[in-house]
Structure 1
Amino acid sequence: MTITADFTEAMGRCPLVAILRGVRPDEIIDIADGLVEAGFTMIEVPLNSPEPLDSIGLIAKRYDRHVLVGAGTMLSVEDVANVAERGGRLMVSPNSNPTVISAAVAAGMAALPGYFTPTEAFAALEAGAHGLKLFPAEGASPAVLKAQRSVLPKNVPVLAVGGVSVDNLGEWMAAGAAGAGLGGSLYKVGDSSETVRERAVAFVSAYKSIIA
């Protein structure tokens, strides 16, 4: 399967990305196991976490193609190369840098760059992005996303990232979000794997009730 097919398949199973900012390699497997048990198919380890490449490598080795793992806060072509070397197949960034997006696509990674305006969104798509990350979503609103969705290509998934909770996930999806990236509402530094698993279960349940 191509990375495009893998990304589409992962989104189809569960369009929620677990953002584990601050996670450590010694705890990543227990936390990832809980996420996967809950139904998550995509895991992001931001590069400003402790030893992020080690964590990405551990998840990639454990789950192979069954989980789309990669890095967040990817800001350079060097970041792309380092993450790809460890088996990462998901590129997430807070911005829309065409050079980084193109490098990720060339490396066989699913590119999910951040954007805030239609101009940034279309620049990202022209560079080859597979999906878009509305960031920070709490700085916009579901109404803003709804307006953007009227001009963005229908087949391009947009994930709301920043301030998304179990309670407002439905509002974002009703406005046109295909899913969401979940950071502090899912994982905070110091949380136990059981706590993260419980939150993951709650998010997956909320998603399933929304699409039912």
Structure 2
Amino acid sequence: MRPAELPYRTLVIVRGTDRGAALRTVLTLAEEGLTASEVSLTTTDALWVIEQARRELGPDADLGAGTVLTADDAARATDAGAGFLVTPGLVTDLPHGPGHPPVLMGALTPGEIMAATRHGALAVKLFPASHGGPAYLAALRTPFPDTPIIPVGGIDAATALAHLTAGATAVGVGSPLIGDAADGGDQHALRARAAHWRSTLAAVVAT
């Protein structure tokens, strides 16, 4: 898969304190058409959640692990079934290339984006995106026109549209969409938020 050919435009970040609820959240999102999810390793029993979600969703689902900080985190997440890895910042010792899951590496500055690319990142997770907003992303597109960039942090439906218009490859969304669902909250409310998210973004891109 080439970086410019990410198969999704929305990456949902699932983080919660209830492992069963976190699993149900991933599955509910998939049922509602938001099929790319990252389970943060800060989630209670995150590896169990990834393992069970992979079993339910199948080998081709876009299911990854987030908050990957070390090579050991990467290995454990991969063994659990994570198909990609997401870091909050530069983690330069992760294995990459054939036989290893692609990495969406966290970066904020131009120098960090260059470093992430040198260390094999499939895409750059621009974090926290709220620091500069869509205008900052648009400015980064001048020196990095071909680098896949996924803004994360402070993204809601309105700012997602703005970032996608400014050149984001995809957007990462957490609590504005998930709410308390992964902590045991209402899954019906999650379905409603997911439907609203998809309808809001449908005017610009497929999710």
Give me the TM-score of the superposition, normalised by structure 1.
0.88
Q: Which blocks of at least 5 consecutive residues in structure 2 are unaligned?
A: none
d(CA) in 2 for partners of 1:8, 1:144: 20
2:21 is the alignment partner of 1:27: yes
2:12 is the alignment partner of 1:18: yes
Which deviates more, 183-192 or 36-45? 183-192
- Residue aligning to 2:106: 114
SS in 2 for 1:65: coil
Q: Aligned runs of 1:180-195 on 2, under 5 Å?
A: 180-187=171-178, 188=180, 189-195=183-189
The structure with more helix, counted as a fraction of residues: 1
- Residue aligning to 1:140: 132
User: How big is the shift at 1:16?
Assistant: 0.8
Q: After superposition, give the CA deviation of every residue in 1:35-92 in whole Å (9 maximum; x if it has no partner).
A: 1122122111111110000000011111123321121110000001100111111101
Contact preservation (8 Å) 2:107, 2:113: yes
Q: Which blocks of at least 5 consecutive residues in structure 1 are unaligned?
A: none
d(CA) in 1 for partners of 2:185, 2:59: 27
2:157 is the alignment partner of 1:166: yes
| Residue 107 to residue 24, structure 1, CA distance change in 2 (3 Å) | farther
Contact preservation (8 Å) 1:158, 1:179: yes
Contact preservation (8 Å) 2:37, 2:63: yes
User: How big is the shift at 1:105?
Assistant: 4.2
Contact preservation (8 Å) 1:105, 1:129: no
Greater relative contact order (Cα 8 A, min sep 6): structure 1 or 2? 2
2:120 is the alignment partner of 1:128: yes
- Residue aligning to 2:89: 95
Contact preservation (8 Å) 1:69, 1:89: yes
Which deviates more, 186-195 or 167-176? 186-195
- Residue aligning to 1:41: 35
User: How big is the shift at 1:104?
Assistant: 4.7
d(CA) in 2 for partners of 1:115, 1:18: 18
Contact preservation (8 Å) 2:151, 2:168: yes
Identity of aligned pairs, percent? 29
Give me the TM-score of the superposition, normalised by structure 2.
0.90
